[in-house]
Amino acid sequence: MLDAQKTIHLADYQPFTHLVERVDLTFRLAPGATRVLARLHLAPNPARPGRHPLRLDGEGLRLVACAVDGQAVAPALDDGGLAIAAEDLPEAPFLLETEVEIAPEANTALEGLYMSKGMYCTQCEAEGFRKITYYPDRPDVMSRFKVRIESDLPVLLSNGNPVGSGPGWAEWDDPWPKPAYLFALVAGDLRAHSAKFATASGRPVDLHIWVRPGDEDRCAYAMDSLIRSMRWDEEVYGREYDLDVFNIVAVDDFNMGAMENKGLNIFNSRYVLASPETATDDDYARIEAIIAHEYFHNWTGNRITCRDWFQLCLKEGLTVFRDHQFSGDMRSAAVRRIEEVVALRARQFREDAGPLAHPVRPESFVEINNFYTATVYEKGSEVIAMLKTLVGDQGYKRALDLYFDRHDGDAATIEDWLKVFEDATGRDLSQFKLWYSQAGTPRLQVAEDWQDGVYTLTFTQATPPTPGQPEKAPRVIPINVGLLNPNGDEVVPTIMLEMTQERQSFRFEGLAARPVPSILRGFSAPVVLERDAPPEERAFLLAHDTDPFNKWEAGRALAKDVMAAMVLQDAPPSPAWLDAVAAVAFDEGLDPAFRALCLRLPAEDDMAQTIHAMGRIPDPARIHAARRALAGALAIRLGEGLVQLCRDLDEGAEFSPSAEQAGRRALRLAALALLARRDGGKLAAEAFAGARSMTEEIGALAALLDAGQGAAELQAFADRWGGDANVMDKWFALQVGLAAPGEAADLTERLAARADFDWKNPNRFRSVVGALAANHAGFHHLSGRGYRVVADWLLRLDPLNPQTAARVSTAFETWPRYDAARRRLAQAELERILAAPGLSGDLREMAERMLAAGQPA
Ligand SMILES: [Zn+2]
């Protein structure tokens, strides 16, 4: 338990000694003493010749009985599992029977079999199954599972198809071999929201979303999203669903967003339940995306799984990419792309620039739970997007068809994945593979030349050192470029420049005038474009670029230039930027959602990252002040137009969660928030009082709090929603997120003292402690109170739920960016965490990595 942390290396992979041909499980459920009977039909694995002992993973299990082919045996037991010597095992196939006892009600880590408000549920990815029974808990051991559940609870669910049930029992059979991490069981007093679906080839499928009594009327949007996802995967990828039933269960206590267990997806309830009164437009969009994501895993993750956890990006990168494609098809693709990139920069670029940087496919880990990261997921998806750009839509389709044909039923690797692209398109992807093995975000510099009608763009790529990787080789970077005439017409539509060298030039001939380049259109590669463009050029692209992503990006880059000048040189807000944003804000020819995005200022943490990349030390207090000053200047510049905007967009139509309506609400709320700085929140208070949706209610409340108002509304909100945990999470997070820098830590402590601060619930913990960590100027306040309060709570949560504690600890990953005083304070907290007795392996690994690699340059 103490320091027995073992590092696991990709290079050490070996197949398991035995095959598990079939698994029969019986669960006799009881909160304090559940019995699990396992019958494993085992055989020696021909891929591991010779005689081997049998070693099964198991943690926290009380072994009651163990037999081989009906003969009782006494295996060797330790903290990590059981072992039976080779001599005690038959050389032919044999049956291993075990019976263990576990206590779901005592399981606070929410990993394995646990209880949430009287309901049993499981979370097995990555290594939770070993807390349920003795088993080779690794993804390359795939087997057929039959499950019998015995309990008096009315609803008893597991993977696969239902094959029988009676009073106090139910049986399930999953015909598809799967790894243990996809096992699931749910038992509870649940109600279903049901629908039917017929697959393209005519298979009828019963769809059920299971929730606690009273929540049935908040499942319609999740069900609609599921049906659209199933249809979309048939139409776009040719993939059909393969069981008679598809179940989704909503659980209040859940570490992650959702889990793709075969035929039985388990969801954090906040990503299932939605009604206009309780869910924001962002919630609706997230529900749609996560329902789709988990459903898409049925093929990319379940039918084709990962050989080992180093290949996590094989299923996650691909499935994130697929859910991005789906959301782009369902909504405005341009708006979705901008939101994806905002999130990528906020989470993944930040990770890549700090001590926790790691490759998309890591080569070693101590605790796999710590590698469910933005790099594996979001950058993993960007890598696939690049691959698609490089091989084209047809090449991508051929490769994916080959992937499903060749690897269905396999536990595959990144090598397998790249090989199908090579075989389907004839391309050599050995250099491209560096995207999987090299950490860090490449920086791309651009030089231009214009001579005798020839325009030349010269790119130079370099990737800063990351932990364990001081040197990087040049990567393949697809750079989508378009050229505009000085009058704003596009003279060269988007073409892909394929960069493979450290420095490379591309020539454009036959141009009448020196063009204005639009580089990295659609954000065609996850790189930092370093280009000191004059403000006039950025304003020109914001006004004229035909590529919506780069149009937004020009405004964003201009805003960052302006804010950086305000922070570093005390410059005033730039009138050129204010004019350019005003032009977009009032341009009725543009999508309201896009205009709302252009009104959103860069986040403070994003500015700190940008200033740090410029070689300067970011000052969180100055960044906070500059951002507020810029918003204030924008409110003045937009003037009475804001009032008009709020009126025009206040249509009073019946609520729909559609992207169109959501875009109008986003623009109206952006205008309302700016206006609150001028009118003291008068209009925002009216909007709060008359709100017809949660988007408007919480948006108006945010505008009020941001303007230093809203105490009465805050109370009214709590009075109204006190009984709804998911809504109250928003209430907690909003206050902490908008608290003034010097008050954020104190407010966190005051809220944490409330009776309804159920800190053992991961959603509630994140909505308060996580919100403080995300309040940039509050967390990094020079008093050190932000660091201290977050560290206190991490230490309190860690013994109960190490996984969530380790996740939230990434708040500290940026500490090397700041000045010596802040570094000392943050370092002291990380050292205090490490010194805590009984620290979990999860949190220890994170604190060690952040400290070790975090020495400032
Ligand atoms: Zn996933």
| For residue 69, pLDDT beyond 90 | yes
Give me the pLDDT at residue 2, please. 39
Instruction: Answer yes or no: pTM beyond 0.95.
Output: yes
Residue 80: CB atoms within 10 A of its CB come to: 14
| For residue 519, pLDDT beyond 70 | yes
Give me the pLDDT at residue 650, please. 83
Q: How confident is the model at residue 787 (pLDDT cuts 50, 70, 90)?
A: very high
Share of the chain above pLDDT 90, in %: 97
The residues placing their C-beta within 5 Å of ligand 1, an ion, are 316, 319
Give me the pLDDT at residue 313, please. 98
Calpha distance 611→683 (Å, rounded) = 35
Residue 196: CB atoms within 10 A of its CB come to: 9
Task: Compute the average pLDDT of residues 801-827.
Answer: 97
Residue 213: CB atoms within 10 A of its CB come to: 8
| For residue 550, pLDDT beyond 60 | yes
Residue 151: CB atoms within 10 A of its CB come to: 19
Average pLDDT, the chain: 96
Give me the pLDDT at residue 6, please. 85
Task: Compute the average pLDDT of residues 379-383.
Answer: 98
Give me the pLDDT at residue 856, please. 44
Using one digit for the tens of pLDDT, what is the confidence trace for 569-624?
Answer: 999 999 999 999 999 999 999 999 999 999 999 999 999 999 999 999 999 999 99
Using one digit for the tens of pLDDT, what is the confidence trace for 129-186?
Answer: 999 999 999 999 999 999 999 999 999 999 999 999 999 999 999 999 999 999 999 9
| For residue 3, pLDDT beyond 60 | no
Residue 735 near residue 289, CB atoms below 8 Å: no
CA of 511 to the centre of ligand 1 (A): 47
CA of 319 to the centre of ligand 1 (A): 6
Using one digit for the tens of pLDDT, what is the confidence trace for 618-666?
Answer: 999 999 999 999 999 999 999 999 999 999 998 777 899 999 999 999 9
Element (H, E) at 597: helix 592-599
CA of 288 to the centre of ligand 1 (A): 14
- Three-class SS state of 335: helix
Give me the pLDDT at residue 855, please. 54
Helix then strand then coil, % of the chain, to nearest 5 = 45, 20, 35
Phi, psi of 111 (to 5 degrees): -135, 130
CA of 143 to the centre of ligand 1 (A): 21
Q: Which residues are catalytic?
A: 294
Angle of helix 380-407 relative to helix 414-425, nearest 10 degrees, comes to: 80
CA of 324 to the centre of ligand 1 (A): 12
Q: Give the closest residue to 511 by CA, choosing from 448, 451, 447, 458.
A: 451
Give me the pLDDT at residue 853, please. 63
Give me the pLDDT at residue 852, please. 87
| For residue 120, pLDDT beyond 50 | yes
Task: Compute the average pLDDT of residues 206-222.
Answer: 97
- Three-class SS state of 52: coil
CA of 700 to the centre of ligand 1 (A): 33
| For residue 225, pLDDT beyond 70 | yes
Give me the pLDDT at residue 4, please. 53
Calpha distance 82→90 (Å, rounded) = 17
| For residue 23, pLDDT beyond 50 | yes
